[in-house]
Amino acid sequence: MSLRPLTAPWFHAPAGFEKIWLGCAILWCFVMSLMMPYWHFRGKQNSTGEAYTVTPAAFMARVDKFVAANQVGTYKNPSSSNPLLQELPIVEPPAGGDAYLMGRMWMWYPALRLRLGETYRIHLSSVDLQHGFSLQPLNMNFHVLPGYDHVLTITPTSKGEFTIVCNEFCGLGHSNMSGKIFVE
Amino acid sequence: MSSSHNLSAPGTPGRVCGTTGLGVCLDAQRFIKLNAVVGIVFLLLGGIAALLLALTRWQTVHLLPADWFYRILTFHGINMLILWILFFEVAILYFACTTPLNARLYSRKVAWASFIMMLIGGVMVDYIILVGQADVMMTSYLPLLAHPLFYLGIILVAVGTLVGVFNFFATLYVAKRDGAYTGSMPIVTFGALAAAIIAVVTLLHGAVVMIPTFTYSMGWTAQPDPAWYRLIWWGLGHQSQQVNVCAMVAVWYLISHITVGAKPINEAVCRSAFVLYILFINLASAHHLLVDPGVGATWKIWNTSYAMYLAVLASMVHGFTVPAGIELAMREKGYNRGIFGWVSALPWKNPAFAATVLSVVIFGFLGGITGVTLGTQQINIIAHNTLRIPGHFHVTVVGGTTLAFMGLAYYVIPLIFQRDFIFRGVARLQPWLFGIGITLLAFGMSFAGSMGVSRRSWDIDAQGVYGPAAHLWLGVLGIGGILAFTGLLVFVLLCVGTLIFGKKIEGRAMADWGTPTALAGSTPGSLAHDHYAVKGTMVLTLVFLACFAVYYFANWKALADVWPVR
């Protein structure tokens, strides 16, 4: 009885269908537990959380240096409702090299141009609040924190224009915060 | 005070329930009433907020301006996930430690202290949000900063809850010491005990993270690290959901017992499952940080595999034993035809029973499967902070916990407030309306989220990346939100109306919502030793496992299609 104290001995080992179900459930938990280490070694999409501490000022200086050294053009979008996004430098990091992407209220700076099939180390950080790096329409999402340089080692495998949306709340302009990655 | 805490002791303020014949402690009854009523008021406030939010995310309607959207979103999260749930859970704790054990509540003063602290804290938080001083979302991730009263209010609610939990533990201790009952506590009390233990661990995390944030907001101390804040905050934020799960599962056992006479088919297994929740859910909170910087792959995988899946295992156990208990009870009543012959004889018109079945199905098939999949380390890359996340937790904490609690109210009000429900025909429909609404809402969220639409975003059109399909699913979200809100409003009106106009029950039994009668020739306990009697449940759980596996591997496939990253 579920509502009154139990007086008779109530310890029984599982039996019958209950035992079968317990076996199925435990087996399934094992499968799920093994999938993650398997994918870590054999799969291609992992979040290793590689990160280094960095002050916002130091990160901003690295971004400026990166832009000055590698800018290849300017992205113009005068019709954008977000004045910060009407003009962005387009920066192409060397293949296999480092790229810096800064999240701030309310833009991702700068725009990146990447080459299909090359691998880049993209350094993500914020100089104010927490932001969410959400690459659309691929739907790849990573968290970005101020004070942490979050490194994604990433290999674009499709061409085109991609939009970085912010998916962590960062104030009133949050839904207008975006950035660009072009893959050629 | 020896044996004064036994309800059968002379001079004890108690009454005998006219329906169940069980003793009811009048002190406990008063605080069950107070906490439940205040909880339902916060539910209504959070529900009004929910409607406004759904009508804003429905991009075609787009009701609220941006500042009010974020304000109301903060308000909705706090009222639903903290205030409604905690108040109602304290009511459940007070019930679970008194009536089933024939005990009286340890202390009226402690109960008052708990209630007043929680109420002041709740009003403080709601006030400071509505005047626009705390547009920080429920999570209040640093460096976002709210007015100090926001943190102080949450601390007060947490401490008040802890005081209430203390009253629960003290009641259990005294009842055991004074011999109010003999034997082992029943499963409902055991589940509530598990919830209370997790609540203590949870609220301690809350203190660790909220106190330094409060002192920072006052300008007394330096800003805590944002990554540290996230780690500890989720020790509060996720574990508190496991308090809900425990309380909900206890309610499943309670209602299935009251309505069809079900009992756990194996007490030892059910209790072990509750212990798994206590042991593992803390570590499993790591699944909120799966794409965070600074925490490594090993840490993420360890905490979300071994730790999380043992807690998942516990839910899969309850997902079997609850329907199995119902099936066995029905078969023993003589509804023994075929695999599913017992299903049509279930009391579907009993709103508490309907709410429980819907809660089990919505929580398991939708909430459980999505939650485990999204909490898989790598799969989180295609889900983090998208609408898939609220799509998941609206079918756990709303379609699961809230719906189960609503079902409980259909017995709490007649048995504790001693009034029969008004408009009983409407009450019979209410769980279906709410359940279908919340399911539609969650489908809308989940599919829009799969298309990359982010959560906590006022507008999706400025980005120019979301097509008509995403907009369509946001429309489904909106319609589901309207239906669920209607179900919620009907529930609140029925409860409040009953408290005012409901026919008084004094000494007599409550009006029966409908329970299956035993067929002629059936004998109670006839199948107690038939371990292969629950055929229907076995089939249902295997169907569940198949759905789980399909969804799980479909998500690995979707992950394999995005860019390589490490």
User: Which of A7, A143, A148 has its CB closest to that of B291?
Assistant: A143
Position B504 scores a pLDDT of: 93
Beta-carbon count within 10 A of B424 CB:
16
Task: Domain ranges for chain B, please list them.
Answer: 23-185, 348-506
Residue B258 contacts A where some CB pair is shorter than 8 Å: yes
How many beta-carbon pairs below 8 A join chains A and B?
304
Tell me the chain B residues in contact with residue A146 when contact means C-beta distances shorter than 8 Å.
Answer: 143, 226
Q: Do A49 and B313 lie within an 8 Å CB cutoff? A: no
All residues at 6 or more sequence positions from B384 whose CB lies less than 8 Å from its CB, including other chains: A132, A141, A142, A143, A167, B290, B291
Using CA coordinates, name the residue in chain A closest to B189.
A3
Residue B19 contacts A where some CB pair is shorter than 8 Å: no
Task: Domain ranges for chain A, please list them.
Answer: 51-183
Q: Which of B279, B290, B268, B358 is nearest to B312 (CA)?
A: B279
| Cα distances (angstroms) measured from residue B115 to each of A141, B33, B45, B111 | 41, 11, 19, 6
Which residues of chain A from 96 to 155 reach within 8 Å of chain B, CB to CB?
124, 128-130, 132, 134, 136-150, 152-155
Average pLDDT rounded to a whole number, residues B109-133: 97
- Distance in angstroms (rounded) separating the CA atoms of residues A89 and A91: 6
Residue A55 contacts B where some CB pair is shorter than 8 Å: no
Position B12 scores a pLDDT of: 75
3-state secondary structure of B503: strand
Q: Which of B39, B48, B167, B61 is nearest to B114 (CA)?
A: B167
Per residue in B495-540, pLDDT (tens digit) is 999 999 999 988 789 999 999 999 988 888 888 888 999 999 999 9
- Distance in angstroms (rounded) separating the CA atoms of residues B210 and B206: 6
| Cα distances (angstroms) measured from residue B49 to each of B54, B68, B73, B491 | 9, 10, 7, 16
Average pLDDT rounded to a whole number, residues B428-452: 97
Model-level pTM?
A: 0.95
- Distance in angstroms (rounded) separating the CA atoms of residues B23 and B397: 31
- Interface confidence (ipTM) of the complex: 0.95
| Cα distances (angstroms) measured from residue B257 to each of A28, B3, B18, B249, B516 | 30, 29, 18, 12, 12
Superfamily of domain covering A51-183: Cupredoxins -  blue copper proteins (2.60.40.420)
All residues at 6 or more sequence positions from A69 whose CB lies less than 8 Å from its CB, including other chains: none
Q: Which of B281, B279, B99, B324 is nearest to B189 (CA)?
A: B99
Position B13 scores a pLDDT of: 82
Q: How would you class A19 by CB atoms within 10 Å of its CB: exposed for 0-12, middle for 13-18, buried for 19 or more?
A: middle
All residues at 6 or more sequence positions from B562 whose CB lies less than 8 Å from its CB, including other chains: A45, A138, A139, A140, B381, B382
Across B290-445, where does the E strand assignment appear?
A: 419-420
Query: Which neighbouring-strand residues pair with B24?
Result: B15
- Nearest-neighbour CA in chain A from B83: distance (Å): 22
- Mean pLDDT for chain A? 94
Position B99 scores a pLDDT of: 92
**Which helix (H) or strand (E) covers residue B200, if one does?**
helix B187-217
- Distance in angstroms (rounded) separating the CA atoms of residues B279 and B288: 18
Q: Which of B516, B142, B459 is nearest to B331 (CA)?
A: B516
- Nearest-neighbour CA in chain A from B120: distance (Å): 28
Tell me how long chain B is: 566
Task: Assign B4 a pLDDT band (cuts: 50, 70, 90).
Answer: low
Residue B66 contacts A where some CB pair is shorter than 8 Å: yes
- Distance in angstroms (rounded) separating the CA atoms of residues B130 and B412: 32
Task: Assign A10 a pLDDT band (cuts: 50, 70, 90).
Answer: confident
Per residue in B14-64, pLDDT (tens digit) is 888 888 888 899 999 999 999 999 999 999 999 999 999 999 999 999 999
Per residue in A40-49, pLDDT (tens digit) is 999 999 999 9
Residue B563 contacts A where some CB pair is shorter than 8 Å: yes
Angle between helices B85-98 and B26-57 (to 10 degrees): 150
Task: Assign A1 a pLDDT band (cuts: 50, 70, 90).
Answer: low
- Distance in angstroms (rounded) separating the CA atoms of residues A90 and A76: 10
- Distance in angstroms (rounded) separating the CA atoms of residues B157 and B367: 27
Lookup result for tokens 């810096």: A100
Of B155-169, B446-460, B511-525, minimum mean pLDDT range: B511-525
CATH for B23-185, among 1.10.3720, 1.25.40, 1.20.120, 1.10.10? Answer: 1.20.120
User: Which of B67, B182, B382 has its CB closest to that of A139?
Assistant: B382
Tell me the chain B residues in contact with residue A172 when contact means C-beta distances shorter than 8 Å.
Answer: 66-67, 70
- Nearest-neighbour CA in chain A from B50: distance (Å): 18
Q: Do A14 and B290 lie within an 8 Å CB cutoff? A: no
Beta-carbon count within 10 A of B16 CB:
12
Q: Do B309 and A47 lie within an 8 Å CB cutoff? A: no
Using CA coordinates, name the residue in chain B closest to A138.
B562
